[in-house]
Amino acid sequence: MSDPSDLLEEIAAAEDAFSHASGRPRFEPNLNSGPDADESEVQIQKACRLLSLAHEIDDLGEYYGSILEHSFIVIEHTLQGYLLAVTGTDPTELRDHDSPYEFAKGQVPLEDDTIESLKRLYDARRTTHYYGTTVTTADQAERMRTVATLVHEHIVTFDSELEQFCLC
């Protein structure tokens, strides 16, 4: 059996896109894609864009799973942005979904119990939604979007540098 040629061509095209082989890239608007981009700046800006989408997605329909996914990613990017900007955490140590929560304890402007609650939500709810047969409800999506919004607002406004990076 051989794989479809159109699939193989698109995989090659995707690889080329990641290496910018087809000319000048068109980056996502409002994200600093320049060589001067600070890693914390980009993380905060990604969180802002995802949070904006999590709020706008209601206009498209009832995509509760997407709202849930985006909300968890907003929290993760916000924690990463703070850790990179304020604590000097090595970015390579934040390359999995659990490490931002672990590194955040005692370092971000949230109580450790709150961070642990966020991590438990991630571990128990996001994981079962993503890998299991759990279907997200409207109430779950709305509550997680609110949690993500409050986490982002609190952490970003706690530090003037992060506030400057914020697109919200």
Cβ–Cβ < 8 Å for 81, 165: yes
Contacting residues for 84 by C-beta, under 8 A, at least 6 apart: 38, 39, 40, 43, 91, 94
**End-to-end CA separation in angstroms for the chain:** 50
Cβ–Cβ < 8 Å for 108, 83: yes
Confidence of residue 25 (pLDDT cuts 50, 70, 90): confident
139 against 127, higher pLDDT = 139
- pTM score, two decimals? 0.87
Q: What is the pLDDT of residues 40-75, one digit of tens each?
A: 999 999 999 999 999 999 999 999 999 999 999 999
Query: With 80 as the cut, is the pLDDT of residue 132 above it?
Result: no
- Predicted local confidence at residue 85, as pLDDT: 93
Q: In the chain, what are the domain boundaries?
A: 39-165
- Predicted local confidence at residue 2, as pLDDT: 84
- Predicted local confidence at residue 75, as pLDDT: 97
Within a 10 A sphere around the Cβ of 119, how many other Cβ atoms?
18
Overall average pLDDT of the 16-42 stretch:
86
Homologous superfamily, domain 39-165? Nucleotidyltransferases  domain 2 (1.20.120.330)
Overall average pLDDT of the 13-34 stretch:
85
Query: With 80 as the cut, is the pLDDT of residue 131 above it?
Result: no
- Predicted local confidence at residue 79, as pLDDT: 97
Contacting residues for 151 by C-beta, under 8 A, at least 6 apart: 74, 75, 78, 79, 110, 118
Distance, in Å, from the CA atom of 162 to the CA atom of 160, rounded to the nearest integer, reads 5
Q: What is the pLDDT of residues 72-128, one digit of tens each?
A: 999 999 999 999 999 989 998 988 888 999 999 999 999 999 999 999 999 887 767
* DSSP string across 118-148: HHHHIIIIIHHHHHSS----HHHHHHHHHHH
- Predicted local confidence at residue 95, as pLDDT: 86
Q: Which DSSP letter does residue 27 get? A: P
Distance, in Å, from the CA atom of 133 to the CA atom of 5, rounded to the nearest integer, reads 32
Query: With 80 as the cut, is the pLDDT of residue 133 above it?
Result: no
